[in-house]
Amino acid sequence: MCGIIGYLGGREATPILMESLKRLEYRGYDSAGVAVLELPKAGEATRTSVTKSEAKVDTLIEKLEANMPSGRLGIGHTRWATHGKPTYINAHPHTDCHGKIFVVHNGIIENFAELKAELQAAGHEFPSDTDTEVVPHLIEANYKGDFLAAVRAALKRIRGAYALAMFSSDDPELLVGARLNAPLVVGLGDEEYYIASDITAIIPYTKRVLVLGEGEVAAITPLGAEVSTLDGVTVKPKIVHVDWDVAQAQKGGFPHFMLKEIHETPEAVANASRGRLSDDGVVSFREFDIPDEQLRGIKDVLLLGMGTSLHAAMIGEYVIEDWAGIPARAEDASEFRYRRPTVGDKTLDVVITQSGETADTLVALQQAKARGALTVAVTNVIASSAARDADGAIYLHAGPEIGVASTKTLLAHMVSLYLLALRIASVNGRVSLERRQELVEALRVLPDQVRGILARDKEIAKLADKYSRYRNFMYAGRGLGYPVALEGALKLKEISYAHAEGTSGGELKHGPIALLDDQFPVVAICTASSTKDKMVSNVHEIVARNAPVFALVTEGDRSLDGVATDLFVMPQVEDAMSAILNTVMLQLFAYHVAVKLGQNVDQPRNLAKSVTVE
């Protein structure tokens, strides 16, 4: 998830690009760059000045302040690496063979490898490892004197997600923006125009925003912005007036980063499988391409993580065992590192870490590797320690998570683990084509189903309002619902400071039930699954102890009507997807309880985003 900005107008572009990139930095910050079409001096040809930094935006700004390009047209980028390490060469903008076409990009180009091979065969050279670099070369290959036509022809070839800002030094009065499955807005100022990933970047300059639709291209000249489809059909632009102030815009209009990040889940779950899953359910992880033969030799899977990532590991344990039929176990990395576990060269060690920097997880990874395990890090941060230390990495592509409590990255972890389970199951011949296609379809509709839960925010806030008066909570579930219950409890305690514990439904009457009374509510995960009836029995036992129960149930299931104190009805979905929807619901519930109690949800006390000490 990168930040992009473009400017065309009567003012100096560079200071505007610098300020805007600073405001976009929350989207990504591992490297940055700008390209400015310089005003030609008398008798000289037009030239584009490119400035890049392999560090944060501040370093780029220092460079620009020391040597400020002067021009009225420019583009800028702050990067969250997806393909290729955060290096100078990989920093955007990228250009074509002749240094005429400049492009900044947010998104993932799924078919970049085949396009790159085709362009290389035609003589194009690619200095970077990025997927983005195919865009300027593809435009160059299609250029016959009309830049806009070349852009359209190039974009027709691209699959995946893109938000782009582009210009060519042959057209000094044309700035082009385009989007597909990635956000992009066009700001309309007073005889000046902006392109940006979101309105955060441009809100100090204009509040009139043209919202670009999927697969649309904006051609911006000093005369205005024209929108068209890739086929060149003119589209009537949709212009809105935004009344946010700068602070609101930073959080995309949400009061907290945590809420904003929960609302980014649809994009995060889509990105986790983007380009990795064929229509027939064949999984390929570009960054972690274990040959089938080697994967077939794997006899057990060890999943390591801490906190929320440990809960993701537990979910991975269930699905790998269930789908792939090989032993899988999730372990608390801080315990694993002090044991003498049975790990060998037939073990696949999957290290789950959003930040890629959790100290205990890194040590556990090194120990598993030292014992001969094949190691893979599933992480959100490119070139993080875990990604570097492991034999391979699977990246979440969820964009930066700023709220201390993990939210969208957990859901992206879950999708990644589903894909890994499917990959192992496929090489072991454990999953039919029909089942694979079912899962492909389930993942395809998942982002919309998550949106369905997010749209019920008010309903969830009302429930949270009612339950926020309690100081103790029990969360109970079975199967995938068990780690979901543990996570629900963790989220609530870490941001609201209410006491919350998670348990399996079966364990309840072996001790925890002693705590229950009319002041100790239970959140029961009772959505459809093979153990749903057992959970329903548990709820009856809980109700008999006078504890209030708020249960998540599947639509059409009436077994807890009149039994549970409150019901939250979830859609009928595949078990693995239900775990995702239930988690999103419980994240929102915890969020609203914490807000009701006036807590600092983005920076809860005593916690840090990345726990780099033991």
Stretch that binds ligand F6R, among 163-171, 307-315, 441-449, 543-551 (CB under 6 A): 307-315
Closest by Cα among 453, 486, 475 to 308: 486
Residue 497 to residue 472: CA distance in whole angstroms: 10
Is residue 355 at the binding interface for ligand F6R, with CB under 6 A as the rule?
yes
Residue type, 105: H
The sign of the torsion formed by the CA atoms of 306, 310, 316, 321 equals positive
Q: Which of 200, 347, 353, 527 binds ligand F6R (CB under 6 A)?
A: 353
Catalytic residue among 2, 207, 260, 408: 2
Residue with smaller CB distance to ligand F6R, 309 or 367:
309
Decide if 522 contacts 476 (C-beta within 8 A).
yes
Closest by Cα among 350, 601, 359 to 496: 601
- As measured in angstroms, the least distance from the Cβ of 224 to ligand F6R is 46
Residue with smaller CB distance to ligand F6R, 95 or 379:
379
β-pairing verdict for 300-305 and 347-353: parallel
Stretch that binds ligand F6R, among 180-188, 303-311, 524-532, 555-563 (CB under 6 A): 303-311
- As measured in angstroms, the least distance from the Cβ of 154 to ligand F6R is 37
Is residue 354 at the binding interface for ligand F6R, with CB under 6 A as the rule?
yes
Is residue 358 at the binding interface for ligand F6R, with CB under 6 A as the rule?
yes
Neighbours of 495 (CB within 10 A): 28
Decide if 409 contacts 578 (C-beta within 8 A).
no
Residue with smaller CB distance to ligand F6R, 81 or 553:
81
Residue with smaller CB distance to ligand F6R, 54 or 494:
494
Is 609 a known active-site residue? yes
- For ligand F6R, the binding residues in 441-500 under the rule CB under 6 A are 490, 494
Decide: residue 418, CB within 10 A, 0-12 exposed, 13-18 middle, 19+ buried. buried
Ramachandran region of residue 479, left (φ > 0), alpha (ψ -120 to 50) or beta? left
Is residue 502 at the binding interface for ligand F6R, with CB under 6 A as the rule?
no
Stretch that binds ligand F6R, among 250-258, 272-280, 350-358, 473-481 (CB under 6 A): 350-358
Most distant CA pair in the chain: distance in Å? 90
Q: Which of 28, 33, 187, 307 binds ligand F6R (CB under 6 A)?
A: 307
Q: Which of 306, 415, 508, 535 binds ligand F6R (CB under 6 A)?
A: 306
**Residue partners of 309: CB distance under 8 A and separation at least 6:** 352, 353, 354, 358, 361, 406, 410, 413
What are the structure tokens assigned to 236, written together? 């009537």
What phi and psi, each to the nearest 5 degrees, are found at residue 226? Answer: -115, 135
DSSP string, 503-554: EETTTGGGTGGGG-STTS-EEEEESSSTTHHHHHHHHHHHHTTT--EEEEEE
Q: Which of 405, 446, 492, 570 binds ligand F6R (CB under 6 A)?
A: 405
Per rule CB under 6 A, count of chain residues that contact ligand F6R: 15
- As measured in angstroms, the least distance from the Cβ of 361 to ligand F6R is 5
- As measured in angstroms, the least distance from the Cβ of 26 to ligand F6R is 17
Q: Which of 14, 106, 250, 308 binds ligand F6R (CB under 6 A)?
A: 308
Decide if 535 contacts 504 (C-beta within 8 A).
no
Is residue 406 at the binding interface for ligand F6R, with CB under 6 A as the rule?
yes
Residue 138 to residue 118: CA distance in whole angstroms: 10
Is residue 20 at the binding interface for ligand F6R, with CB under 6 A as the rule?
no
- As measured in angstroms, the least distance from the Cβ of 6 to ligand F6R is 33
* Position of minimal CB gap to ligand F6R: 307
Catalytic residue among 85, 466, 596, 609: 609
Q: In what helix (H) or strand (E) does residue 304 lie, and over which residues does it extend?
A: strand 300-305
- As measured in angstroms, the least distance from the Cβ of 492 to ligand F6R is 11
Residue with smaller CB distance to ligand F6R, 489 or 539:
489
- As measured in angstroms, the least distance from the Cβ of 358 to ligand F6R is 3
- As measured in angstroms, the least distance from the Cβ of 603 to ligand F6R is 12
Residue 477 to residue 367: CA distance in whole angstroms: 32
Stretch that binds ligand F6R, among 171-179, 244-252, 349-357, 443-451 (CB under 6 A): 349-357
Closest by Cα among 205, 168, 171 to 185: 205
Is 2 a known active-site residue? yes
Is residue 309 at the binding interface for ligand F6R, with CB under 6 A as the rule?
yes
Q: Which ranges constitute the DSSP H helices of 49-166? A: 57-66, 112-121, 134-142, 147-156
Catalytic residues: 2, 609
Residues near ligand F6R, by CB under 6 A: 306-309, 353-355, 358, 361, 405-406, 490, 494, 610-611
